[in-house]
Structure formats: structure tokens, C-alpha cells
Amino acid sequence: MTRGGNRSGSTPEARDDRPMKTTAPTVPTKGGVPVENLLDAAFRTFAERGYRATRLEEVAEAAGVTKGAIYYYFDGKEDLLRKAVETRHRAIFRDIEEALAAERAPASAKIRLVLRKVWQHWLEPGWGPAFRLMLGEMSVEFPALFRTWAMEGPIQGCEVVSDLIEEGVQQGEFRAGVDADVSARLVVSGLMLQAAMHVHLGLNQLAPCDADRIFDSSVDLFLHGLSVTHGHPGARPGTDVEPEKA
């Protein structure tokens, strides 16, 4: 595994008790826990307790490994969280890539597929605390880690959707002149915020609405706005042509 340094400028956790890296542990200790499980435990623990408040002993306990095993595979807390974020996001987008490769449908169906997968991810119980961690503590105190999260997650999601919008324009399904980048930003950020507020911040208790209804209606409205059958504001009825100026 590629090892990273202290890229954010923050002070790394003291490592005086780190074991010498002479030989690799036969397993990541305590029952041969895979590194992937360690990364998953780290992601959940940081999200639940906050970055500064989390001690590596707590991560080790959650993963069923020793603290020394963490230091064998990672440079410390910052490297551990970075790898945890990267691993999680890459797994999500690998799943999306495989699903798209098997999809032989119009661009609109592919966009719905991608958005459905990320929507389901955003509704997972552990996503809300992680989202709050990134937008709060990490964005202010550890901007390099926040950038990793943003680039590997929301920004990459926008790029996938933007590419599919361009595909739809080229195939004649979406109207010409659509700003694919802005359109992708709007739908990804809009659904992300709805997931955060609706599920994780309790908005559903104040204004109940079924999560599937939110998703389906939002995506329907979004795709309708892209469709060639939906003209420019002020266009002549039944056309996509703007009216002539007087």
C-alpha cells in the first residue's frame, strides 16, 4: 500500500511508541483482520467521535487489532483517515463503473442508475456523521483531508453525471446547449443535501416525506429539464427555439 506523508500541514500524532518496521506482522493481529476491515472501522470511529477526539487505541479496539498494527500499515491518524476515505469512495465508484459497463440504456437511465446508487450510499446510517465531520471539523482544521474527500466523492460524482449528460446531448436525448457541468453539480449537491437533512438531521420528523419519493421526483424533474421536449423558457410552444426578439 502506498504510504502518504503529512500533506495537510497539521501536526502528526506522536509516534514514540511505534514499533520498528523490521518484518511485517504475520496478520494485522487479533484474528487476522484484513486491512480493509481496519479502514472501515477507522472511518466509522472518526465519523462518530470526530477526528481530534479519536485516539488510535479506539480505532484499534473497533477493528480488533493492536495500535502497532495501525502504525505498521499507516503513518498515523491523518494517513489512516485519508486511506479510509479513498478506499470507501473507490469501492463506490468501482461499483458504479461496473454497473454502467453492463448498462445498454439511454443516458437518462444511466444517470438515474448512478444517482440511485449514490443516494443509497448517502442514506446509510454511517454517512451522516461522516458528512458532518467533513463539512465541519475537517474542512476548517484539516483542509487537505477535506479536499481528498471532496475530490474522491462529490466532485467525482459530478464528473460521472456530467459525462452522461454530454452523452445524452450527443445521442439527441438531451437538448443542445445544456451546461453539463452545472447541471451535474445541481443534481448531485441537491440530492446530497436532501439526504443529509431528510435522514441524518431529522427533517423527516418535521416534514415527513418518503425517501423514494424525494429521489424519484427530484430525478424526474432534473431529467425533464434536460430533455429535448423541454424548451427554453419563453420558447414557442412545441419547440426548443427561443422566440425572436422584437
Q: How confident is the model over 174-183, as pLDDT tens digits? A: 999 999 999 9
Are the C-beta atoms of 154 and 188 separated by less than 8 Å? yes
Query: pLDDT band at 34, cuts 50/70/90?
Result: confident
CATH classification number, 26-88, choose in 1.10.3720.10, 3.40.630.10, 1.10.10.60, 1.10.287.1080: 1.10.10.60
User: Of 36, 13, 12, 125, which is closest to residue 86 (Cα–Cα)?
Assistant: 36
174 strand-pairing partners? 227
Cα–Cα–Cα angle for 202, 204, 208, rounded to 5 degrees: 160
May I ask the CATH class of domain 105-226? mainly alpha
pLDDT, residue 184, reads 98
- Is the per-residue pLDDT at 72 higher than 50? yes
How many Cα atoms sit within 13 Å of 88 on the Cβ side? 27
Q: Kindly state the cell numbers that stand for 235.
A: 420558447
Residue 151, Cα to own-chain centre: how many angstroms? 9
Q: Kindly state the cell numbers that stand for 118.
A: 449514490
Q: What does the pLDDT look like over 96-131, one tens digit per residue? A: 999 999 999 999 999 999 999 999 999 999 999 999
The mean pLDDT value of the chain amounts to 84
User: Of 190, 105, 121, which is closest to residue 153 (Cα–Cα)?
Assistant: 121
Domain boundaries, the chain: 26-88, 105-226
- Is the per-residue pLDDT at 55 higher than 60? yes
- Is the per-residue pLDDT at 154 higher than 70? yes
pLDDT, residue 26, reads 33
**196 vs 238, which has greater pLDDT?**
196
Question: What's the pTM?
Answer: 0.79
Are the C-beta atoms of 177 and 190 separated by less than 8 Å? no
Q: What is the mean pLDDT of residues 135-145?
A: 94
